[in-house]
């Protein structure tokens, strides 16, 4: 029986600094990111624990990989903010990145993804009040049309055995056809391409990310980008769990698209663990198929399967949808899974008929309609750089300036999630059904006792000296398990003892 598909998003934000008056030197993206992250609420003393980070440990290699060399404590505090809702905000290279807390449902992911937008825009506004003659702006996109890419990474909890089998043929046979074709409802849309296309014009495509992928499997994320990332960094008990780290998805402004992207992937991974994907849809060349599908907004192009058949992306999605319906006939779906099945079915049917039927819900269609309207209604040349500017401005997270938010205010897109005011409490409230709840509450209640924290545990000061509390199961530490005990535990040691939580000394923790 499949395990719950705990999921989280890591969203890289493009940051731009405009200079209005030449008063001070223009901030670099790195400097601007530091200024922005520094505006977030924080526990001043708290450090991010890099001890369990192995970004280059490859699931396809047996050689041990050393952990990341941690920054100094001073730099650690400058680039990291651990948030009271269980999320993390930090500077990654030259851009800010927001990692949602671990969520059980796709609806929770949508909530905390949008909470990230709200927090980042608040930090941006506060940072801009400290600047003279220049202004920061943030964009939730994947391409700046100058060769730079920004990721939206998805992380899903898998059984360790299932994860290993992905690299022994099951990934190419059961998962990749779904991932390559799902862009038709979760692509963010893009003007032009990043590479030569043999003279074939590509004025518009479905996915912002598709151009940047070159291989099937790799541990890399910034070069030789793979369709399936092989990073072996579970942030959990590796004997039982693995973290599937997907980097090929687009950053979505539309909550509908995020909900479908995450929710349908959770369903397919659940089916994969339960051996319920029984049709072989292996693609002959998945990387080429990804780009072909992206470059055809009509959704009519066919891609070649390994067995010689040719199918459209919508037909591949239709095959997965049929398998999902059979699966849930034997495994009663949750209310959210039933809702996802209905929405997935509707989207597939509308894509088969006319993608423009989704112009109020799906990013790439919304943007395509907007750009067509600007081109024809306002006489903008289809090849004008102005369209690329509009493309980028669609992703501006400032609710007064971003084009997506303008369409939202004017009723041109269908509402899906609560208003920003209704989302505000989630800046301080964690998801209730994962270990993020316990980690968040420990930070809020016992923060002065905690020194370092990561996804999988934290270091704290006890009467016996420094100790480490591991949180090896992302499914444990929920509100249901912990809320009453938290009320009864004025001291952290009392809480951990009542929970039966394993605590290790520094020497034991490093074994």
What is the spatial distance between Cα 155 and Cα 235, in angstroms, rounded to a whole number? 11
Q: Which residue has the tokens 């910034």?
A: 222
What is the spatial distance between Cα 58 and Cα 66, in angstroms, rounded to a whole number? 11
Under 8 Å between Cβ of 68 and 54: yes
Half-sphere exposure of residue 500: CA atoms within 13 angstroms, side-chain side = 2
Q: How many helices (H) and strands (E) does the chain have?
A: 18, 19
Distances (CA, A) of 498 to 390, 440, 487, 506: 56, 18, 12, 22
Q: Which two tokens stand for residue 79?
A: 């680039």
End-to-end CA distance of the chain: 32
Residue 280: count of CB within 10 angstroms of its CB = 12
Q: Could you tell me which of 372, 354, 359, 374 has the C-alpha nearest to residue 298? A: 354
Q: How many residues does the chain have?
A: 511
Active site residues: 92
Q: Would you call 265 helix, strand, or coil by DSSP? A: helix
Under 8 Å between Cβ of 139 and 208: no
The β-bridge partners of 156 are 7, 244
Angle between helices 313-330 and 255-273 (to 10 degrees): 60
């Amino acid at each position: 029986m499949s395990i719950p598909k705990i999921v989280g998003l890591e969203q890289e934000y493009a940051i731009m600094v405009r200079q209005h008056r030449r008063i001070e030197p223009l901030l670099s993206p790195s400097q601007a990111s530091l200024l922005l992250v520094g505006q977030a609420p924080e526990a001043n003393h708290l450090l991010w624990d890099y001890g369990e980070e192995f970004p280059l440990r490859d699931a396809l290699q047996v050689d041990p990989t050393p952990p990341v060399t941690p920054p100094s404590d001073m730099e650690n505090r400058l680039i990291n903010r651990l948030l009271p809702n269980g999320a993390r905000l930090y500077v990654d290279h030259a851009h800010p990145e927001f990692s949602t807390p671990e969520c059980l449902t796709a609806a929770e992911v949508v909530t905390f993804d949008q909470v990230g937008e709200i927090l980042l825009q608040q930090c941006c506004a506060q940072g801009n009040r400290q600047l003279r003659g220049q202004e920061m702006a943030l964009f939730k996109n994947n391409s700046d049309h100058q060769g730079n890419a920004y990721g939206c990474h998805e992380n899903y909890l898998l059984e360790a055995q299932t994860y290993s089998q992905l690299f022994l043929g099951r990934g190419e046979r059961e998962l990749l056809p779904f991932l390559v074709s799902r862009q038709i409802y979760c692509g963010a849309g893009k003007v032009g391409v990043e590479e030569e296309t043999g003279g074939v014009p590509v004025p518009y495509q479905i996915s912002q990310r598709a151009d940047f992928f070159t291989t099937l499997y790799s541990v890399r994320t910034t070069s030789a980008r793979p369709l399936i990332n092989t990073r072996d960094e579970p942030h959990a008990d590796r004997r039982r769990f693995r973290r599937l780290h997907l980097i090929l998805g687009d950053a979505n402004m539309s909550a509908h698209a995020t909900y479908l992207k995450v929710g349908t992937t959770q369903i397919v991974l659940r089916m994969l663990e339960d051996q319920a994907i029984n049709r072989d849809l292996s693609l002959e060349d998945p990387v080429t198929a990804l780009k072909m599908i992206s470059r055809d907004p009509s959704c009519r192009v066919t891609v070649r399967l390994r067995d010689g058949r040719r199918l459209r992306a919508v037909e591949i999605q239709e095959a997965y949808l049929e398998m999902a319906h059979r699966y849930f006939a034997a495994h009663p779906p949750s209310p959210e899974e039933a809702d996802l099945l209905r929405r997935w079915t509707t989207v597939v049917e509308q894509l088969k008929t006319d993608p423009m039927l989704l112009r109020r819900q799906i990013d790439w269609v919304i943007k395509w309609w907007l750009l067509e309207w600007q081109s024809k209604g306002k006489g903008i040349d289809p090849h004008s750089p102005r369209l690329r500017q509009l493309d980028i401005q669609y992703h501006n997270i400032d609710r007064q300036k971003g084009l997506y938010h303008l369409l939202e205010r004017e009723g041109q897109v269908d509402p899906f999630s609560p208003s920003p005011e209704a989302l505000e409490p989630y800046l301080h409230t964690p998801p209730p059904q994962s270990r993020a709840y316990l980690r968040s509450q420990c930070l809020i209640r016992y923060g002065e006792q905690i020194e370092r924290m990561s996804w999988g545990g934290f270091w704290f000061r006890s009467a016996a000296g420094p100790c480490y509390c591991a949180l090896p199961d992302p499914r444990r530490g929920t509100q249901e398990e912990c809320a009453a005990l938290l009320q009864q535990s004025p001291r952290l040691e009392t809480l951990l003892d009542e929970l039966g939580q394993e605590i290790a000394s520094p020497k034991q923790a490093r074994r």
